[in-house]
Amino acid sequence: VAEPKIPGFVPLYQTWESFYSWYVYRRIQDCFCRPVSGVPGAKMVVIDRESNDHRWSFQYTGGHSTVLNFGSYNYLGFSQNSGPCAEEVEQTIKNYGVSVCGSRQELGYLDLHKQMDRLVADYLGVEDAYTVPMGFATNSMNIPSLVGKGCLILSDELNHASLILGCRLSGAKIKTFKHNCMKDLEKNLREAIVDKQPRTHRPWKKILIVVEGVYSMEGSIVKLPEVLRLKKKYKAYLYLDEAHSIGAIGPHGKGVVDYFGLNPRDVDIMMGTFTKSFGAVGGYIGGSQALVNHLRLYSHSAIYSSSMAPGVAQQIVSSMNIMLGRDGTREGEKRIQQLKWNTRYFRRRLQEMGFILYGNKDSPVVPLLMFMPSKIAKFSRESLNRGMGVVVVGFPATPMTKCRARFCLSASHTKEMLDEALQITSDIGDLLAIKYSKAEPPSY
Ligand code: PMP
């Protein structure tokens, strides 16, 4: 299409990102958006395809391959199509159908949703909770219902896109602090409450600190005890996103609060998703009765969007009951122990091989640093060819020079599967010369 010759005219897609996407991403696009099939369990089915030399297009060969799955967020191994959850979900779909066809205000609030909200609150150890059909919308739609113009948000620089969007939509002033750096957070808090003018009142209506439990690209765990100390000292509120920590860490699988042995009621807003540990989809907000009542009435996600599909709600109820031991077995406990063992074993072995990893030893998110964009493409292709599916991440999701592969561990991985994956990774590591170090990896 001919571009109009008008001074200052900019074509719709002309940005640095689009330049990058066109020249770099197009050449490595076979590493992303690969169609898959079946259950995203310990193994998964990937659809075979071939691309031409320049990777402009794909031809589907009609075949498929089964590979070890280290790409899905299936921490507790609840993504399955058999067993107690699957049977209860099947029965629920028979009883309720697939959709509720309405928002919770408009005859879309099932007895099952009521049961789920109560169960989530019990799981978290808070007064009440409410659920949203999408994790992303839980952040982006609820933060604007809590803070607005005249408020200040202090947001970790590595917060997820859904948190960033929620903060922007709120209209509050946003300041970011260095990732998990308590010194920088305190500096921002101090500056926020010290008025340059003679003090007559606090300059901000509300100050909200926004952090995640486990950071999904870094595998780091928030320094929650210190964040809580600072929020109390400076009379701020705390919004904690536990998407990657609920179910996945802590002796009882109750997230980062459980991990540090803290009181969940000290966190003002507990947010999390069901997409990862519970093999379902959607998100929740938990906290005081007053908070949850307010959001049920005022949040866009509660008023203007259909409530959760019954089958999904049942998956959450069934898996949470197992985790709470309400099924009369110790299955939940076993899954937590298995995930912890798998995580520590996998991380330790990779470090012994000389790979540079990010994150905490108990984080089931394991980023393996490669640094160069060309290496992530090769890593992805080689691992699929050798029977292992793993996510690779580069710019713009990470800084240009911090490209990485990201392994997500699961309680459903057996030791044999871990050993096989370690061997594959070691071989590719030799091929790509990415066993950079025998030294201690950086930790946050
Ligand atoms: N918060 C965080 C920290 C996330 O990593 C994600 C997505 N992985 C979300 C929220 C959004 O959750 P969902 O994928 O369930 O929409």
3-state DSSP assignment of residue 369: strand
Do the Cβ atoms of 424 and 388 come closer than 8 Å? yes
Residue 276 Cα to ligand 1 middle (Å): 9
* Any ligand 1 atom below 6 A from CB of 136: yes
Residues 98-127: what's their mean pLDDT? 96
Residues 258-269: what's their mean pLDDT? 98
Reported as a single tens digit per residue, the pLDDT across 15-49 is 666 666 667 777 788 888 889 999 999 999 999 98
Residue 187 Cα to ligand 1 middle (Å): 28
Q: Whose CA is nearest to atom 14 of ligand 1?
A: 135
Residue 136 Cα to ligand 1 middle (Å): 5
* Any ligand 1 atom below 6 A from CB of 143: no
pLDDT of residue 198: 59
Reported as a single tens digit per residue, the pLDDT across 360-394 is 999 999 999 999 888 999 999 999 999 999 999 98
Q: Which of 340, 339, 407 is nearest to 370 (CA)?
A: 407
When mean pLDDT is compared across 13-17, 142-146, 392-396, the lowest value belongs to: 13-17
Residues 288-317: what's their mean pLDDT? 96
> How many Å apart are CA 12 and CA 135, to the nearest integer?
30
For residue 421, pLDDT over 70 is answered with: yes
For residue 1, pLDDT over 90 is answered with: no
For residue 197, pLDDT over 90 is answered with: no
Name residue, tokens 């949470």: 320
| Ligand 1 mutation target, pool 221, 256, 273, most atoms within 8 A of CB | 273
| Ligand 1 mutation target, pool 73, 216, 245, 308, most atoms within 8 A of CB | 216
**What is the dihedral sign for C-alpha 190, 195, 201, 204?**
negative
pLDDT of residue 196: 58
* Any ligand 1 atom below 6 A from CB of 159: no
Do the Cβ atoms of 158 and 244 come closer than 8 Å? no
Residue 432 Cα to ligand 1 middle (Å): 31
Residue 246 Cα to ligand 1 middle (Å): 12
When mean pLDDT is compared across 13-27, 165-179, 183-197, 304-318, the lowest value belongs to: 13-27
pLDDT of residue 17: 64
Residues 82-93: what's their mean pLDDT? 95
* Residues paired with residue 214 on neighbouring β-strands, in sequence order: 221
Q: What is the mean pLDDT of the chain?
A: 93
For residue 442, pLDDT over 60 is answered with: no
For residue 108, pLDDT over 90 is answered with: yes
> How many Å apart are CA 302 and CA 142, to the nearest integer?
9
Please work out, in degrees rounded to the nearest 5, the angle formed at the alpha carbon of residue 78 by the alpha carbons of 74 and 79.
70
> How many Å apart are CA 253 and CA 234, to the nearest integer?
30
* Any ligand 1 atom below 6 A from CB of 318: no
What is the biggest distance separating any 2 CA atoms in the chain, rounded to whole angstroms? 73
Which atom of ligand 1 lies nearest, measured to the CA of 282? 15
* Any ligand 1 atom below 6 A from CB of 170: no
| Ligand 1 mutation target, pool 160, 179, 249, most atoms within 8 A of CB | 160
Residues 78-89: what's their mean pLDDT? 93
Residue 118 Cα to ligand 1 middle (Å): 22
pLDDT of residue 317: 98
pTM of the model: 0.94
Which of 246-258 are b and which e, b meaning 16 or more Cβ less than 10 Å from the residue's Cβ? Answer: bbbbbebbbbbbb
Residue 134 Cα to ligand 1 middle (Å): 9
| Ligand 1 mutation target, pool 79, 134, 136, most atoms within 8 A of CB | 136
C-beta neighbour count of 410 within 10 angstroms? 27
Q: Which fold has domain 84-323?
A: Aspartate Aminotransferase; domain 2 (3.40.640)
pLDDT of residue 51: 80
* Any ligand 1 atom below 6 A from CB of 243: yes
Question: Using omega within 30 degrees of 0 as the cis cutoff, is the peptide bond preceding 396 cis?
Answer: yes
* Any ligand 1 atom below 6 A from CB of 162: yes
**pLDDT cut 90: percent of the chain above it:** 81
Residue 240 Cα to ligand 1 middle (Å): 13
**6 or 170: which leads in pLDDT:** 170
* Any ligand 1 atom below 6 A from CB of 156: no
Q: What CATH number should be reported for the domain whose range is 29-69+336-432?
A: 3.90.1150.10
What ipTM describes this predicted complex? 0.99
Residue 273 Cα to ligand 1 middle (Å): 7
* Any ligand 1 atom below 6 A from CB of 275: yes
How big is the chain, counted in residues?
Answer: 444
What are the residue boundaries of the structural domains of the chain, listed by start? 29-69+336-432, 84-323
For residue 56, pLDDT over 80 is answered with: no
